[in-house]
């Protein structure tokens, strides 16, 4: 789904025959209303349909009738428009006992060029080959024959030069079919014709284009990143920003940039409010899904940060034993003292110096190790402890 009005909220739903309540005030689907009833799940936010056709009905056709609707904002209860879409599925059986389906694995071209796209699929069943691609393409897109690259990889090349009247989003979907009649999941992309998209900027400094990086506290919630030009909310749902746990490479926070209110766009900056309790000592990184508005970010090192662990930072302690009673040398204020270790022709070695030796007790000096200081920082008495240390050290020096 896509909408050129950047602030609209897009959803899809099953068509229904209730002409008294639906948007169009007519029977939207007639006999096609329940083609996949009971064997499918529809995710309205990104219009994803998940289903498994029953093996007892091989050779059957299944009809799907949907309505794609746009809403003014996330609080709107009535759509501004409703567009129908219908299509068929045909159930056929595999010719092999192998049930591992093929998979489309890439690759994507650079942007800002006439499209030459290589759709690469891989077969996993022994002896199986990719024989065909089932596709839905923009008008004018050419498909090559399927060519084997060895190692179970098969390539179909797409070439396309958009026309002026194709300005805006253009969709392409493909599914690979192998010689056992097993079909891959759909692989879909959206081309934006005539748009110059921004790129997110990799940070090179602590206070750079992405913030924060390095070590942060576990209650940190505001994250931001800059792009090469002004950014706006995507015009379609299903483009996600993910905060990933580096130890498991799993998402701990996922936000749909198409509609979630905690993702903010201002000038060339995207700000994200993440309400998550980061685990002390863990490392995390941020990923951005592919979308028509910008290239995806899939590099775990592009924007990474660590969470400060007070338990680890307090395990190293310094043990200092201050002296209790010792012997020191004191001098009267009227006596000139000569350092006998220094030879100076301008000072006579015959100068008389009066020295006295006394015993005195030196009070203990408060020495704060890192762990003690950490605890003291949580209480107001920390300031008094530091002040006491600051006073005792100069007094000790005067006594010397």
Distance in angstroms (rounded) separating the CA atoms of residues 153 and 133: 13
Distance in angstroms (rounded) separating the CA atoms of residues 299 and 287: 7
For residues 139-165, average pLDDT: 89
The residue ranges of every structural domain in the chain are 9-90, 103-193, 210-312, 325-399
Q: Which fold has domain 210-312?
A: Immunoglobulin-like (2.60.40)
Residue with tokens 């941020």: 286
Distance in angstroms (rounded) separating the CA atoms of residues 191 and 183: 24
The model's pLDDT over 50-63, given as tens digits with 9 standing for 90+, comes to: 888 877 778 888 88
Q: Which residue spans within 99-186 are E strands per DSSP? A: 103-106, 115-122, 130-136, 142-143, 147-150, 153-160, 168-178
Contacts 24+ apart (CB under 8 A), 286-290: 286/210, 286/223, 286/225, 286/241, 286/242, 286/243, 286/244, 287/241, 287/242, 287/244, 288/200, 288/239, 288/240, 288/241, 288/242, 289/238, 289/239, 289/240, 289/241, 289/242, 289/257, 290/108, 290/189, 290/239
Distances from the Cα of 137 to the Cα of 140, 174, 191, 321, 370, angstroms:
8, 8, 11, 79, 64
SS3 state at 83: strand
Cβ distance 70 to 5 under 8 Å? Answer: yes
Distances from the Cα of 186 to the Cα of 85, 337, 351, 380, angstroms:
17, 93, 101, 62
Distance in angstroms (rounded) separating the CA atoms of residues 342 and 256: 77
SS3 state at 51: strand
Q: Given this chain, do its domains 103-193 and 210-312 carry the same CATH topology?
A: yes
E strand or H helix that includes residue 360 = strand 356-361
Give the pLDDT band of residue 363 (cuts 50, 70, 90). Answer: low
pLDDT score of 200 more than 90: no
The model's pLDDT over 169-189, given as tens digits with 9 standing for 90+, comes to: 888 999 999 999 888 988 888
In the chain, which residue ranges form alpha helices assigned H by DSSP?
310-313, 370-376, 381-399
- Tell me which CATH code domain 103-193 carries: 2.60.40
SS3 state at 305: strand
Ranges 31-35, 111-115, 196-200: which has the least confidence: 111-115
The model's pLDDT over 80-128, given as tens digits with 9 standing for 90+, comes to: 888 888 888 888 777 777 878 888 776 655 555 678 888 999 988 888 8
Cβ distance 119 to 133 under 8 Å? Answer: yes
Give the pLDDT band of residue 145 (cuts 50, 70, 90). Answer: very high
pLDDT score of 28 more than 50: yes
Give the pLDDT band of residue 399 (cuts 50, 70, 90). Answer: very low
* Predicted TM-score of the model (pTM): 0.41
φ, ψ dihedrals at 291, nearest 5°: -160, 170
């Amino acid at each position: 789904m896509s909408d050129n009005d950047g602030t609209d909220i897009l959803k899809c739903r099953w068509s229904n025959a209730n002409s008294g309540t639906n948007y169009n005030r007519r029977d939207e689907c007639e006999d096609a209303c329940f083609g996949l009833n009971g064997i499918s799940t529809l995710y309205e936010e990104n219009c994803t349909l998940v289903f498994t056709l029953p093996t007892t009905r091989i050779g059957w056709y299944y009809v799907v009738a949907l309505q794609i609707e746009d809403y003014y904002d996330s609080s709107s209860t009535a759509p501004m428009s409703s567009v129908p879409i219908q299509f068929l599925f045909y159930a056929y059986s595999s010719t092999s006992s192998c049930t591992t389906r093929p998979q489309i694995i890439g690759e994507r071209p650079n942007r800002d060029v006439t499209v030459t796209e290589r759709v690469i699929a891989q077969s996993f069943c022994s002896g199986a080959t990719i024989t065909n691609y089932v596709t839905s393409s923009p008008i004018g897109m050419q498909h090559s024959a399927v060519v084997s690259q060895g190692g179970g990889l098969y390539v179909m090349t797409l070439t396309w030069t958009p026309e002026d009247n194709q300005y805006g989003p253009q969709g392409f979907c493909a599914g690979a079919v192998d010689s056992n009649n097993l079909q891959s999941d759909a692989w879909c992309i959206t081309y934006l014709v005539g748009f110059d998209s921004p790129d997110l900027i990799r940070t090179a400094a602590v206070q750079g284009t992405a913030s924060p990086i390095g070590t942060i506290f576990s209650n940190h919630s505001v994250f931001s990143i800059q792009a090469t030009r002004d950014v706006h909310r995507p015009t379609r749902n299903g483009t996600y920003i993910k905060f990933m746990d580096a130890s498991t490479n799993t998402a701990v926070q996922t936000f749909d940039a198409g509609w979630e209110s905690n993702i903010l766009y201002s000038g060339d900056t995207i700000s994200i409010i993440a309400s998550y309790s980061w685990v002390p000592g863990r490392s995390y990184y941020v990923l951005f899904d592919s979308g028509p508005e910008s290239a995806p970010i899939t590099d775990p090192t592009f924007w990474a940060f660590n969470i400060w662990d007070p338990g680890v930072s307090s395990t190293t302690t310094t043990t200092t034993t201050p002296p209790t009673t010792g012997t020191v040398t004191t001098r009267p204020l009227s006596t000139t003292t000569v350092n006998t270790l220094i030879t100076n022709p301008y000072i006579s070695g015959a100068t008389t110096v009066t020295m006295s030796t006394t015993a005195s007790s030196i009070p203990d000096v408060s020495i704060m190790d890192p762990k003690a200081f950490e605890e003291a920082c949580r209480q107001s008495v920390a300031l008094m402890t530091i002040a006491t240390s600051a006073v005792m050290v100069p007094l000790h020096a005067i006594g010397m």
